[in-house]
Amino acid sequence: MYPQQDRYGAYKPASAAVFDEGLRKHMLRIYNYMGLGLVVTGLVAFIVGTTPALYVPIFSTPLKWVVMLAPLAFVFFFSFKMHSMSASAAQMTFWAFCAVMGLSLASVFLVFTGASIARTFFIAATMFGATSLYGYVTKRDLAKFGSFMIMGLIGVMIASIVNIFLGSSALQFAVSVIGIVVFVGLTAWDTQNIKEQYADNYDQESQQKLAVFGALSLYLNFVNIFQLLLNFTGQREE
C-alpha cells in the first residue's frame, strides 16, 4: 500500500493501522490538554468566586474589565504567534490562558447557585462530547458547514456587542440560542479539522504544537457552550 495524501496535503503512512494508532494518541493528547485546562479554569473560578478577599477587589472595581477582556487578549496573542511559538511556550501560554479564563468565569459563582453550575457543566459536557464524536467519525466534509458557523459566530459577536448598549432581554435570548447552535457546530468542524491536520511524519515539536492549538479550539467551544447554557439552566442566587 502506498502513502496517500489527505485533503490538506499531508501524507498518510503505508500502514493504516500505524496511522490510526498515531491519530488516536494525538487526539487523546488533545482531549487531555483540554480536560486539564478545564480543571485549571474551574479551580481558579471556584477559589476566586467563593473567596470575598479575592473577588471583591476584582469585581467591585474597574479591574473587572481587565479580567473580562484578558482572555480575548490571549486569543489574539495565540492567533498572531502560533506559528513562531515553540511547543513549550505554546503549552505554558495555554495554561496561563486557562487560569485567566478562570478569573473571568469566577463571576458565575456570584450569580448562579453551585448546583445549577454543576448541572449546566454536565449538560455542556454531554453536548460537546456528542458533537465532537460526530466530527471525528463522520465521513462528511464539514468545511462548508464550518464556514457557515464562522459567519454565525461573527453575527453573534456583533449582536452581543450591540446588546451591551441596548440591554434587550429578547436579543440576549436570541444570541444565547443561536450561540449554542454555532458553538456546537464549530465543535464538530474543529474536531474534523484537528483529525485531518494530523500526519505521523510531523516531528515531535510540530505534533506538540498541533495538540496545544487543537486543545485551545475545543476548549473555547466548550466554555462558550457552558456560558450560553447558563442563561437557560442556571438558577440565580437569592
Do the beta carbons of residue 91 and residue 205 sit within 8 Å? no
Q: The whole model's pTM is what?
A: 0.86
Taking the C-alpha atoms of residue 63 and residue 41, their distance in angstroms, rounded to an integer, is 19
pLDDT of residue 218: 95
pLDDT of residue 3: 47
Helix, strand and coil in the chain, % to nearest 5:
80, 5, 15
- Whether residue 215 has pLDDT greater than 90: yes
Q: What is the mean pLDDT of residues 108-130?
A: 91
Taking the C-alpha atoms of residue 156 and residue 145, their distance in angstroms, rounded to an integer, is 16
- Whether residue 12 has pLDDT greater than 90: no
Band of pLDDT at residue 38, cut at 50, 70 and 90: very high
Residue spans per domain, the chain:
10-233
Q: What is the mean pLDDT of residues 107-117?
A: 88
* C-alpha cell recorded at residue 221: 467551544
The residues, ordered by sequence, that sit 6+ positions from 219 with a Cβ below 8 Å of its Cβ are: 34, 37, 38, 98
- Dihedrals phi, psi of 198, to nearest 5 degrees: -70, 140
The residues, ordered by sequence, that sit 6+ positions from 196 with a Cβ below 8 Å of its Cβ are: 6, 7, 8
Q: pLDDT tens, 52-100?
A: 888 888 888 888 888 888 888 888 887 787 778 888 888 999 999 999 9
Q: pLDDT tens, 166-205?
A: 777 777 778 888 888 889 999 999 999 998 887 656 677 8
Q: Please tell me the number of Cα atoms within 13 Å of 184 on its side-chain side.
A: 17
DSSP designation for 236: B
- Whether residue 105 has pLDDT greater than 60: yes
pLDDT of residue 8: 45
- Among 162, 219, 230, which Cα is nearest to 37's? 219
- Whether residue 2 has pLDDT greater than 50: no
pLDDT of residue 238: 62
